[in-house]
Amino acid sequence: MKKQIDLVQGTLDMLILKAVSLGGLHGYGVLLRLRQLTGGQLQIQQGSLYPALYRLEHQGLIASEWGESENKRKAKFYTLTAAGRKQLKAETESWNRFSVVVAGVLNAIPEGS
């Protein structure tokens, strides 16, 4: 088993938005999709998912609706709202810029070597 990576502070919200943007999901579904997308490399405490979901819903970035799960059980499904879509786009761009800059710094070769 590969060593898991700790989540960078504040990125969980962004990942949830991304996961939900690919199609409506219930909370457990978000967890499964994140696991699938990261190839199980990210360490996510299952419980921490829910405060994040509630926060995002309270901010109006995702919306929720009760529905039926794959195995016919009552579950709460989350979908991305228009505001959430905008937010995801903005965060993706700034993350990309950020990672390029950080990577550039870390990959710098000492002068003269």
Partner 1 sequence: MKIFRRKKFESDMDAELRFHNSAYIDDLIRSGFDRTEAERRARIAFGPIEATKDECRQAWGLQRMDEVRADLRLTFRALRNNPGFAAIAILSLALGIGANTAVFGLVDAVILRLLPVRDPSQLVFVETAGTAGRDGPPYPYFELLRDEAKSFEAIAAFSPSNMEIVIDGGRELARGVWVSGNFYQMLGAAPVIGRTLAASDDQTPGKGGPDGAVAVISRAYWQQRFGADPAVVGRVVHMMFDFEHTVTIVGVMPSEIMSPELGRPIDIAVPMMLSDPVKMRDRVSLWLEIVARLKPAVRTEQAHAECNALFQAYMADVRIPPEVHTMLYDHVELTPAAKGLGGLRTQFLQPLTAMTILAGLVLLAACVNVANLMLARAAACQKDFAVRLAIGAGRDRLIRQTLTEALVLVGAGAALGILLARQGQAALAAFFAQGNNKIVLDLSMNGRMLLFTLTVAVLSGLAFGILPALRASRSDPGAGLQSGSRSIAGNRVSRRLGHALVISQVALSTVLLAGAGLFIRSLRQLELVDLGFTREGILTLEVTPERQMFGKLEWLTVQAEILDRVRQIPGVRYASWATMTPLSGRDRGAILDIPGFVPRTEKDKDVHLAALSPGYFETFGVPLLLGRVFTSRDDATASKVAILNETAARFYFGNTNPIGKNVRFANYPGHDLVYEIIGVVKDAKHDSLREQPSRFIYIPIPQSVDRINRLALAVRCTGDVVTFVAPVRQEVHSVRSTVLINNVSTIEKQVQQSLTRERLITALSTAFGALALVLACIGLYGTLAYAVTRRTNEIGIRMALGATRGGMIWLILREALTLAGSGIVIGLPAVLALARITKALLYGIEPFDLPTFASAVLLLLVFTAIAGFVPARRAGRLDPMSALRCE
The CB-of-11 to partner 1 minimum distance in angstroms stands at 17
Question: CA nearest 25: which of 100, 7, 17?
Answer: 17
The CB-of-75 to partner 1 minimum distance in angstroms stands at 5
- CA atoms within 13 A of residue 85's CA, in its CB half-sphere: 7
Please report, as ranges, the residues that interact with partner 1 according to CB under 8 A: 26-28, 31, 45-48, 50-52, 54-55, 58, 69, 71, 73-76
Q: What φ, ψ does residue 18 adopt, rounded to 5°? A: -65, -45
Which is nearer to partner 1, 28 or 95 (by Cβ)?
28
Which is nearer to partner 1, 14 or 75 (by Cβ)?
75
The CB-of-53 to partner 1 minimum distance in angstroms stands at 8
CB proximity list for 65: less than 8 A, separation 6 or greater: 76, 77, 79
Which is nearer to partner 1, 23 or 99 (by Cβ)?
23
The CB-of-32 to partner 1 minimum distance in angstroms stands at 8
Which is nearer to partner 1, 53 or 80 (by Cβ)?
53
Provide the residue count of the chain: 113
Task: Give CA–CA dist 79/94, Å, rounded.
Answer: 23
Structure tokens at 49: 């998912």
